């Protein structure tokens, strides 16, 4: 199974995610060719290699044509129609709509209006539409089947948006991250944008504080706009393969959150014979489980025979326990630079 891990130690935004995916090997020509199908104002993508606190990362910016007059405000229904009529494949449409659905649903709740009438501001702008659909295209290009993500730092302080001065995280951003693990940060700024929160809440299958069991194939770094004083402002993505024999041999990363059922797991198992337990709960309830128990399985067999003949005993105990669960997913309109 082809998987990806979003390492959001400096937050996440749409442009950072798209740049990181291209840096990890997504087909840039495919992404740009498919994005040209969107019926919006003319735009081009600018790619440049930058250094963020010593880490080489890819920076992506959406540039408008000089004579284009952008329509900054779009309704949710208009964006949905735009995506459905563009001619993308089913996977790209599904991922794009899942992200915008999270953003729209959260914005509708904050403003207490029907989601169909949500009036997008910055998120409806060209760069945000390009970011969301571009991420879907890049994931499709990489053939990703399952998405993992670290806890997400949201930031603090205040930010200026179309409605005035808002707290950080912005209300819709925080609404999207309900039930999902967030991380602390010392920076009083917006670390995760609404589009970034839409990606994390809309299409991530499972959250984990560490890398899942995998064989790493490629790594990408996507740069944010700001420069942080003590850490690189980049999103790291790790692409690899998760196979059943690998999952049975390697230790499972702790502190997992399965997105579909919003369940927190903190398991620590010591199995000398390579036991692995993965829990999937398809029902839509919220559960918090703390399992401090440590299980140890030991099988010691000593056979000694002092006779004229010889007895060889080989005892092998292989235990493979795998519980798979599938999960579903659930999206604002104030996009800033991260």
DSSP for 259-272 reads: TTTTEEE-B----T
pLDDT of 241 above 50: yes
- List, for residues 177-210, the tens digit of each pLDDT value: 999 999 999 999 999 999 999 999 999 999 999 9
Are the C-beta atoms of residues 231 and 9 closer than 8 Å to each other? yes
Confidence of residue 124 (pLDDT cuts 50, 70, 90): low
Least confident of 62-66, 100-104, 228-232, 309-313: 309-313
pLDDT of 75 above 80: yes
pTM of the model: 0.74
Least confident of 112-116, 160-164, 241-245, 317-321: 317-321
Q: What is the pLDDT of residue 19?
A: 98
pLDDT of 91 above 90: yes
Least confident of 55-69, 242-256, 296-310: 296-310
Q: What is the pLDDT of residue 3?
A: 98
Considering 208-212, 295-299, 305-309, the range whose residues carry the highest mean pLDDT is: 208-212
Q: Sign of the CA dihedral 207, 13, 332, 162?
A: positive
Domain extents for the chain?
2-249
- List, for residues 17-45, the tens digit of each pLDDT value: 999 999 999 999 999 999 999 988 889 99
Mean pLDDT of the chain: 79
Mean pLDDT on 134-147: 98
Mean pLDDT on 223-252: 81
Mean pLDDT on 79-102: 97
pLDDT of 139 above 50: yes
pLDDT of 215 above 50: yes
| Cis bond upstream, residue 69 (ω within 30) | no
Return the H-helix or E-strand segment holding 56: strand 55-64
pLDDT of 95 above 80: yes
More confident residue, 74 or 53: 53
329: nearest Cα among 256, 261, 255: 261
Q: What is the pLDDT of residue 330?
A: 38
pLDDT of 136 above 80: yes
Q: What is the pLDDT of residue 245?
A: 55
How much of the chain is helix, strand and coil, in % rounded to 5? 30, 25, 50
Q: Which two tokens stand for residue 2?
A: 């082809």
Q: What is the pLDDT of residue 334?
A: 42
Are the C-beta atoms of residues 190 and 166 closer than 8 Å to each other? no
As a whole-number percent, the residues of the chain with pLDDT over 70 amount to 69
């Amino acid at each position: 199974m082809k998987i990806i891990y979003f390492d959001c130690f400096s937050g996440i935004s749409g442009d950072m995610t798209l740049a990181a995916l291209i840096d990890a090997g997504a087909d840039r020509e495919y992404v740009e060719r498919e994005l040209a199908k969107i019926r919006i104002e003319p735009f081009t993508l600018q790619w440049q290699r930058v250094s963020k606190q010593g880490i080489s990362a890819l920076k992506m910016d959406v540039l408008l044509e000089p004579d284009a007059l952008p329509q900054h405000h779009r309704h949710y229904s208009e964006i949905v129609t735009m995506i459905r009529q563009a001619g993308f494949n089913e996977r790209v449409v599904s991922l794009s709509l899942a992200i915008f659905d999270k953003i729209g649903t959260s914005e509708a709740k904050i403003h207490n209006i029907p989601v169909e009438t949500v009036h997008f501001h910055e998120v409806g702008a060209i760069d945000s539409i390009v970011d969301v659909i571009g991420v879907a295209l890049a994931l499709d290009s990489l053939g990703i089947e399952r998405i993992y993500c670290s806890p997400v730092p949201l930031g603090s302080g205040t930010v200026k948006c179309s409605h005035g001065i808002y707290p950080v995280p912005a209300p819709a951003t925080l609404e999207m991250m309900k039930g999902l693990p967030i991380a602390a940060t010392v920076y009083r700024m917006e670390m995760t944008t609404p589009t970034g929160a839409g990606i994390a809440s809309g299409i991530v299958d499972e959250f984990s504080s560490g890398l899942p069991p995998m064989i790493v194939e490629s790594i990408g770094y996507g740069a944010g706009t700001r420069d942080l004083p003590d850490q690189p402002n980049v999103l790291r993505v790790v692409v690899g393969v998760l196979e059943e024999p690998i999952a049975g041999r390697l230790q499972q990363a702790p502190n997992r959150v399965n997105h579909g059922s919003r369940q927190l797991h903190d398991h620590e198992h010591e199995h000398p014979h390579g036991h692995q337990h993965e829990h999937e709960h398809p029902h839509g309830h919220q559960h918090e489980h703390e399992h401090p128990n440590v299980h140890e399985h030991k099988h010691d067999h000593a056979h000694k025979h002092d006779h004229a003949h010889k007895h060889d005993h080989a005892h092998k105990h292989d235990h493979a326990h795998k519980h798979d669960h599938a999960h579903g997913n659930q999206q604002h309109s104030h996009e800033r630079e991260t």
